[in-house]
A and B are shown apart, each in its own frame.
Chain A
């Protein structure tokens, strides 16, 4: 028998004039690190790091389910709404969670669409953070698949999405974690993965903003897996090259969901990234 140190609670914030009940988890103490999940998934992707006593000894890891995802409900009236995430709504949500939880300039760590929005926040609201860890994150890629596949009445979008994203998981990933990773996609609500992908594959507004990111004030570190077909190492390098002072690490044996698909393989890269971020003492100085 074991009980994990992760605790989960609910936060209600106002986004775009309406209430959102948001589920968040946290573990640890010290420097706040806000963690953003990928499209079509939820907070569970971060559970291995949140259960890592060495990391949480000096870092307070916090992760939340975006509205429509995991245990966060969709907004009232969702039954007639087409879910299409936008950069603006995503930014507003992240900032509302930071305000709601009273976080003082957290490190922001995001994967995939979470990494994309981390870079948007670095460009537009950098002063509200102390640094950025952008995982499987890039300026922009159009879809190499038809996102409408994942929301149609004659097929199970979750099962199709899971089968598709498995292409982004490394053959080095332990079998159990590979399947735990795709399970989240299988559970995703109807149209949610599609709505996330709409944001991820159609909004290219980050490209002209990258050179304006001030890495002297807030460091930016990118991490990318060689088995990621969606954000390839070439995509991440192009993105890092466009941000003056950004750094990049390539993980040869990992894919698009590194913290979830292969926790042991990802850990050293995340620790290296945390080491590049300002400490609490440096922030206070």
Chain B
């Protein structure tokens, strides 16, 4: 899982439109996968560190809590209904979002597209 988040970190550096959209986003986000904690620290739209927990000393702005199987489906090129969006995960009971949700919503497109950088690149019909 840590490798996937580091892949996202590198992909983000190569995605200019996301760096532009996220230029005001400098926060730490907790992603909890099956109880394992991953802290993604953003600075002006770039991920500057990916740190595996557990940690009780790392402050975070908002958290997405889910499980590995759900994320695996989320990262498919065409996820099944409910697995296609972080709010879908919440709706079907496979995800939970807490903390400063307004911070997430203000940066929702950015965060969803950053998380989607690990999505499989199946060629979709035009």
Chain B: minimal CB distance from A11 (Å): 36
Q: Does B44 contact A (CB under 8 A)?
A: no
B109 touching A159, Cβ below 8 Å: yes
Give the interface of A toward B (CB within 8 A). Answer: 144-146, 149, 155, 159-160, 162-164, 166-167, 170-172, 174-176, 226-227, 229
Asked if A227 and B102 make an inter-chain contact with CB atoms under 8 angstroms apart, the answer reads: no
Query: Which chain B residue has the least Cβ–Cβ distance from A152?
Result: B102
Inter-chain contacts of A171 with B (CB < 8 A): 77-79, 84, 124
Interface string of B108-126 (1 = CB under 8 A from A): 1100100000000000111
In the bound complex, CA of A93 to CA of B105 (Å): 32
Q: Tell me whether B79 and A163 are in contact (CB under 8 A).
A: no
Cβ of B54: which chain A residues have Cβ within 8 Å of it?
none
Q: Are B105 and A229 in contact (CB under 8 A)?
A: no
Q: What mask results when residues 76 to 108 of chain B are scored 1 for a CB within 8 Å of chain A, else 0? A: 011101101111101100000000011001101
Task: Give bound CA distance, A162 to B106, whole Å.
Answer: 11
Name which residue of chain B comes closest to A228, CB basis: B81
A227 touches B81 (CB 8 A): yes
Q: How many residues of B contact A (CB 8 A)?
A: 22
Contact B87 A174 (CB under 8 A): no
Residues from chain B with a CB closer than 8 A to the CB of A146 are: 101
Q: A residues within 8 A CB of B109?
A: 159, 162-163, 166
Distance A226 CA – B108 CA, assembled complex (angstroms)? 23
- B110 → chain A, closest Cβ, in Å? 8
Q: In the complex, A144 Cα to B126 Cα: how many Å?
A: 32
A226–B82 Cα distance when bound, in Å, is 9
CB proximity of B80 to chain A, nearest CB, Å: 9
- B77 near A167 with CB under 8 A, answer no
Residues of B within 8 A of A163 (CB): 105, 108-109, 112
Min C-beta distance of A172 to chain B, whole Å = 6
Known A-B contacts A167-B87, A171-B84; A160 and B78 likewise in contact (beta carbons under 8 Å)? no
Q: Name 29 interchain pairs, CB-CB below 8 A, sorted by A.
A: A144-B90, A149-B102, A149-B105, A155-B102, A155-B106, A159-B109, A160-B105, A160-B106, A162-B109, A163-B109, A163-B112, A164-B87, A166-B85, A166-B109, A167-B84, A167-B85, A167-B86, A167-B87, A170-B84, A171-B77, A171-B84, A171-B124, A172-B124, A174-B125, A175-B126, A227-B81, A229-B87, A229-B88, A229-B91
Please tell me if the beta carbons of A175 and B108 are within 8 angstroms of each other in the complex.
no
Q: How far is the CB of B81 from chain A (nearest CB, A)?
A: 5
A174-B125, A175-B124, A229-B87 as given contacts; A164 in contact with B82, CB under 8 Å = no
From residue 35 to 66 of chain B, which have CB atoms closer than 8 A to chain A?
none
Q: Identify the interface centre among B79, B82, B105: most chain A CB within 10 Å of its CB.
A: B105
A159 partner residues in chain B, CB cutoff 8 A? 109
